[in-house]
Amino acid sequence: MASDNTKDKSKSPWNDPYADPYISIENITKKFGDFTAVDNVSLKIYKNELFCLLGGSGCGKSTLLRMLAGFENPTSGRILLDGQDMAGIYPYDRPVNMMFQSYALFPHMTIEKNVAFGLHQDGMHKGEIRKRVADMLELVKLEDFAKRKPHQLSGGQRQRVALARSLIKQPKLLLLDEPLGALDKKLRENTQFELMNLQEELGITFVVVTHDQEEAMTLSSRIGIMDSGKIVQVGTPNEIYEYPGTRYVADFIGSINLFDGNVVEDEADHVRIQSEDTDATLYIDHGVAVTEGSRVGVAVRPEKMKLTRNRPDQADNVAEGIIDEVAYMGNLSVYRVRLKSGKIVKATLPNLDRDTEQFDWDEQVYVSWKPKSGLVLLS
Provide the CATH number for the domain around residue 362.
2.40.50.140
Indicate if 91 and 193 belong to the same structural domain: yes
Q: How many residues are given for the chain? A: 379
Residue 198: its H or E element: helix 185-202
Q: Is residue 136 part of a domain?
A: no
Indicate if 202 and 80 belong to the same structural domain: yes
15-26 residue pLDDT tens: 998 899 999 999
| Residue type, position 179, single letter | P
111-162 residue pLDDT tens: 999 999 989 888 889 999 999 999 889 888 899 999 999 999 988 888 889 8
Distance (Å, whole) CA 197 – CA 202: 9
Distance (Å, whole) CA 21 – CA 7: 20
Q: Is residue 153 part of a domain?
A: no
Q: Over 90: is that where the pLDDT of 110 sits?
A: yes
Return the closest-CA partner of residue 167 out of 118, 101, 222.
118
What pLDDT band is residue 6 in, cutting at 50, 70 and 90?
very low
What pLDDT band is residue 90 in, cutting at 50, 70 and 90?
very high
Picking from 205, 230, 251, the residue at the C-terminal end of a domain is 251
pLDDT at 3: 44
Count of domains for the chain: 2
Indicate if 273 and 243 belong to the same structural domain: no
Give the chain's mean pLDDT: 91
Q: Over 70: is that where the pLDDT of 2 sits?
A: no
Q: Over 80: is that where the pLDDT of 9 sits?
A: no
Give all strands (DSSP E) within the chain, no chain letters. 23-32, 35-45, 50-54, 76-81, 84-85, 96-99, 173-177, 205-210, 222-227, 230-235, 257-267, 270-275, 282-284, 295-300, 306-308, 318-328, 332-339, 344-350, 364-368, 374-377
Q: Is residue 137 part of a domain?
A: no
Q: Over 50: is that where the pLDDT of 282 sits?
A: yes
The residue among 3 and 188 whose pLDDT is bigger is 188
Q: Is residue 314 part of a domain?
A: yes
Domain that holds residue 309: 256-377
Q: Is residue 228 part of a domain?
A: yes
Distance (Å, whole) CA 45 – CA 95: 16
Indicate if 191 and 227 belong to the same structural domain: yes
Indicate if 241 and 293 belong to the same structural domain: no
pLDDT at 4: 46
Indicate if 189 and 56 belong to the same structural domain: yes
Q: Is residue 145 part of a domain?
A: no
Q: Is residue 152 part of a domain?
A: no
Indicate if 365 and 304 belong to the same structural domain: yes
Distance (Å, whole) CA 107 – CA 88: 33
pLDDT at 288: 87
Q: Over 80: is that where the pLDDT of 294 sits?
A: yes
349-368 residue pLDDT tens: 999 888 877 899 999 999 99
pLDDT at 236: 97
Distance (Å, whole) CA 278 – CA 317: 8
Indicate if 183 and 268 belong to the same structural domain: no
CATH code of the domain containing 86: 3.40.50.300
pLDDT > 90: what percent of the chain? 70
Picking from 251, 268, 293, the residue at the C-terminal end of a domain is 251
Indicate if 238 and 271 belong to the same structural domain: no
Indicate if 181 and 314 belong to the same structural domain: no
Q: Which range among 102-106, 282-286, 356-360 shows the weakest confidence by mean pLDDT?
A: 102-106
Can you name the residues that pair with 235 across neighbouring β-strands?
223
Q: Over 90: is that where the pLDDT of 227 sits?
A: yes
Q: Over 50: is that where the pLDDT of 259 sits?
A: yes
What pLDDT band is residue 10 in, cutting at 50, 70 and 90?
low
Q: Is residue 220 part of a domain?
A: yes
pLDDT at 188: 76
pLDDT at 369: 97
Indicate if 243 and 316 belong to the same structural domain: no
Picking from 221, 251, 281, the residue at the C-terminal end of a domain is 251
Indicate if 322 and 188 belong to the same structural domain: no
